[in-house]
Amino acid sequence: MKALYVEGGTFLHLMSPRLKLIGLCLSSLALFMIYQPVPLAFAAIASAMLYLSLRIGWRQSWVRMRMLGLTILVVALFTLVFNGWDEAAAVLFRLTALALAAAAVTATTTTGDFIDELTAAAYPLERLGLVRAADLGLAVGLVIRFLPEVLSRYDAIRDAHHARGFKPKPLTIAVPLLILTLKNADEIAAAIDARGIRRQK
């Protein structure tokens, strides 16, 4: 599978994964407590500068952010229709800042580090009998690891449509993408159980 992590030696790469995740959580809370478009615009610019400091490249950045960017744009347009310009601008800048900050953290933190930190954070909940810390960390790690694979399959299915002279349509792409993803998910689940990674009830 492909990974979202990018090798590098920037200050974010050298920063503790725990500090990065805590900083991301706190900045997310702060962004949702701000409602004025102007400070949110500055936050979006700061997040963009942080992401650009990783020097991932425009092409790779486009591949990583295109679907999320489209989602943010759609949400902003719906907000514009129902709530007006000010609210739409606030939503656009807030989600953009959050997406770029999260992308920067994801690109500089390995999946293993994510699993370790989330597992450690979930231990208090495990002691209360609410969750299994190891299973929660594994689940989130698989989601992070699986995302670029799903995007890669989307591109392959779309290219196959073009190669056969067909115009890609949402339904003709979504169905095979869903089937391939579910099939791969079953294979991964079987491999996890065969290795005894998940604790059995």
Which of 85, 109, 133 is at the close of a domain?
Answer: 109
Do 61 and 105 sit in the same domain of this protein? yes
On whether both 36 and 95 belong to a single domain, the answer is: yes
- Asked if 81 and 117 sit in the same domain, the reply is no
DSSP-assigned letter for residue 77: H
For residues 169 and 27, the model is more confident at 27
Q: How confident is the model at residue 45 (pLDDT cuts 50, 70, 90)?
A: very high
103 lies in the same domain as 38:
yes
> Do 72 and 121 belong to one domain?
no
- Distance (Å, rounded) from C-alpha 109 to C-alpha 164? 39
Mark which of 109, 136, 162 sits at the end of a domain. 109
Overall domain count for the chain: 2
Q: Is there a domain that residue 173 lies in?
A: yes
Domain that holds residue 85: 11-109
Q: Which of 48, 142, 34 is nearest to 102 (CA)?
A: 48
> Quick check: is 153 in a domain?
yes
**Could you tell me the pLDDT band of residue 180, with boundaries at 50, 70 and 90?**
confident
Q: Average pLDDT in the 20-29 region? A: 90
For residue 186, name the pLDDT band (cuts at 50, 70, 90).
Answer: low
Are 119 and 96 in the same domain?
A: no
Domain boundary among 109, 125, 154: 109
pLDDT of residue 144: 67
Residue 2 lies in a domain: no
- According to DSSP, residue 166 is labeled P
pLDDT of 189 over the 80 cut: no
For the record, the structure tokens of 67 come out as 């679907």
| DSSP state letter for 9 | -
| 117 CB-contact burial (10 Å; exposed 0-12 / middle 13-18 / buried 19+) | buried
Considering the domain architecture, whether residues 58 and 98 belong to the same structural domain is answered as: yes
Residue 102 has pLDDT above 80, yes or no: yes
How big, in percent rounded to 5, are the helix, strand and coil portions of the chain? 80, 0, 20
1 located within any domain: no
Residues 147 and 188 in one domain: yes
- Whether 58 and 119 map to the same domain: the answer is no
Q: What's the whole-number average pLDDT of the chain?
A: 79
pLDDT tens digits, 55-101: 887 777 777 787 788 889 899 999 988 888 989 999 999 999 999 99
Residue 142 lies in a domain: yes
Residue 199 lies in a domain: no
Give per-residue pLDDT as tens, 109-142. Answer: 887 787 787 777 777 767 777 767 666 666 776 6
CA dihedral 178, 161, 66, 28 (to 10 degrees): 0
- Letter string b/e over residues 135-151, b meaning 16 or more CB atoms within 10 A of that residue's CB: bbbbebbbebbbbbeeb
Is residue 177 in a domain?
A: yes
What does each C-alpha distance from 95 to 6, 71, 86, 192 come to in angstroms? Answer: 23, 10, 14, 34
* 57 & 73 share domain: yes
**Do 145 and 182 share a domain, yes or no?**
yes
Q: Are residues 31 and 86 in the same domain?
A: yes
Return the HEC string of 34-71. Answer: CCCHHHHHHHHHHHHHHHHCCCCCHHHHHHHHHHHHHH
